[in-house]
Amino acid sequence: MSFLWTWVGAAFGLTFGHSLGALILGALIGWVVDTMRHQRRRLRAQRQFVAPLFAVLGALAKADGRVSQAEISVAERMMQRFNLDATQRAGAIARFNAGKQAGFQLAPALAELRRICAPQPQLAWAVLDVLAEVAYAEGAASQAGFQLLQQTAHALGFGDMQLLALLMMRGYAMPQGAAGAWQQQGYQQAYQRGSRQAPASRSSGPDPYAVLGVERGNDDASIKRAYRKLISQYHPDRLGDLPEELRRRAERRASEINTAWEAIKGERGIV
């Protein structure tokens, strides 16, 4: 949130009021203006997400040929978390239903999400996190659902290893067919190393190297560079006017990056 008008108000109060009380009053008025502007920007940002995001959610839900109650429940939960008003909710439902149709054109919706997320990689990650929750609403993704999630990740600018890191951090398993395909690319070993057991018993968490998108054989300097690049992208101060649900997920990503770095530092003795 910008505090431009807070500072302007404070300066105005001090200049023309010549007292501490005038400074405080001016700053308070400016802060109210900043808060209102911030809320309007966040609402605009939220509205632009509704159509493409819920259309892709609908396509993911129908990827295996049917839409389950679990998938519907996740979509409804997202509507609640996004604090959609009645009009926005109706629009989200309409786009979700459109995404379920056999003739739905996915490419324009993905292109719109990519356009919205392009300036902020942390925003793209939060969107992918939301979509993965629907893909795994029933505990496991179908082969078709996983392929669509992979296609979405690529459209948002993420490679397979970054999608792999997200799966490990959330405790999601790959469909059998996908595991076989990824094994040929050298990813299956990394997945098994990072995810270890099922989510209920995965007490040690995902592989911190996978979280940072680096290999265990990399030297300390390259790992540190990777960490600094990631945390600069996902630092909470750079989140801007995201919808609250996406902000929460982006902040979670920043926390996971820091946790992974601390684990690697402890393992390697990096100071």
Give the pLDDT score at 9: 67
Q: What is the pLDDT of residues 57-82, one digit of tens each?
A: 999 999 999 999 999 999 999 888 88
Q: For 206, which DSSP code? A: S
Give the pLDDT score at 97: 94
Q: Centre a 10 Å sphere on the Cβ of residue 54 and count the other Cβ atoms it contains.
A: 29
Q: Where residue 90 falls among pLDDT bands split at 50, 70, 90? A: very high
What pTM did the predictor assign?
0.68
Give the pLDDT score at 58: 94
Give the pLDDT score at 107: 93
Half-sphere exposure of 257 (CA within 13 A, CB side): 26
Which range, 4-13, 37-46, 131-140, 183-192, is most confident? 131-140
Signed CA dihedral, 111, 117, 118, 122: sign only: negative
Q: What is the pLDDT of residues 100-113, one digit of tens each?
A: 998 899 999 999 98
Phi, psi of 63 (to 5 degrees): -60, -35
C-alpha 227/C-alpha 233 separation (Å) is 10
pLDDT surpassing 80 at residue 3: no
C-alpha 86/C-alpha 82 separation (Å) is 12
How does the average pLDDT of the chain come out, rounded? 79
Give the pLDDT score at 17: 76
Signed CA dihedral, 140, 145, 150, 156: sign only: negative
C-alpha 184/C-alpha 146 separation (Å) is 17
C-alpha 23/C-alpha 222 separation (Å) is 49
Task: Please compute Rg for the chain using Cα positions.
Answer: 22
Greater confidence (57 vs 200) lies with: 57
